[in-house]
Amino acid sequence: MTTRNMHPGKCIIVCAPSGAGKTTIVRHLLGRDLGLDFSVSATSRPRRSHEQDGRDYFFLTSDEFRARIRQEAFIEWEEVYPGRFYGTLRSELDRIWAEGRHPIFDVDVVGGLRLKELFGNRAFALFVAPPSIETLEQRLQLRGTETPETLRTRMDKAAYELSFSTRFDRVLLNDEMHRACAEAYELVRTFLHP
């Protein structure tokens, strides 16, 4: 990870365990007049039926992902699950900043902490926490996308990720989505437009 060609703009980092509601909060923030643009991450995981390449993720094979790592195309990347890579493309940040906007990242906890380390006080890192680990498990079960094995993997990872929450600028408890979205808006607005 290098800091070459870094832009002096601000950015917003939103992290959470899977199922905590971060994507809903990110969508809410993007729908407000904050000057934000979504930084589309790259991944080597398979595309789900409702997802579009270039909108939800840039879908790459594992070999393509590894080739881009060697080309230093990523600002940060992580093998989140064995054989499943996620990363932030330098070209996405260049695109957003060229448009005079602020990137917002919907990333895993390790990637979020790397971005915060990279951008320092130019980044606001928000950790979305579920009311409890039990609530998180119920939300994931209701999605209907998890097998018992993937649910156990996600729950183990969630417990690990929750241990990093204190390293973020703010922990946002998502016990009620409407309130959490409103609080996220105020926090981000204050950071971007003090």
The yes-or-no verdict on residue 36 having pLDDT over 60 is yes
10-24, 106-120, 135-149, 156-170: least confidently modelled range: 135-149
**Per-residue CA distances from 72 to 4, 21, 52, 68 (Å):** 11, 31, 25, 6
* Residue entry with tokens 């009620």: 176
| Segment 79-114, tens digit of pLDDT | 877 889 999 999 999 999 999 999 999 988 888 999
Query: Could you give all domains of the chain from N- to C-terminal order, each with its CATH number?
Result: 11-192 (3.40.50.300)
Q: What is the pTM of this model?
A: 0.86
Closest CA to 58 of 99, 84, 88, 100: 88
H-type helices in 31-89, by residue range? 62-70
Task: Quote the pLDDT of residue 141.
Answer: 82
Closest CA to 25 of 118, 129, 147: 129
d(CA 75, CA 48): 25
Q: Residue 8: which pLDDT band, with cuts at 50, 70 and 90?
A: low
Mean pLDDT of 110-132: 93
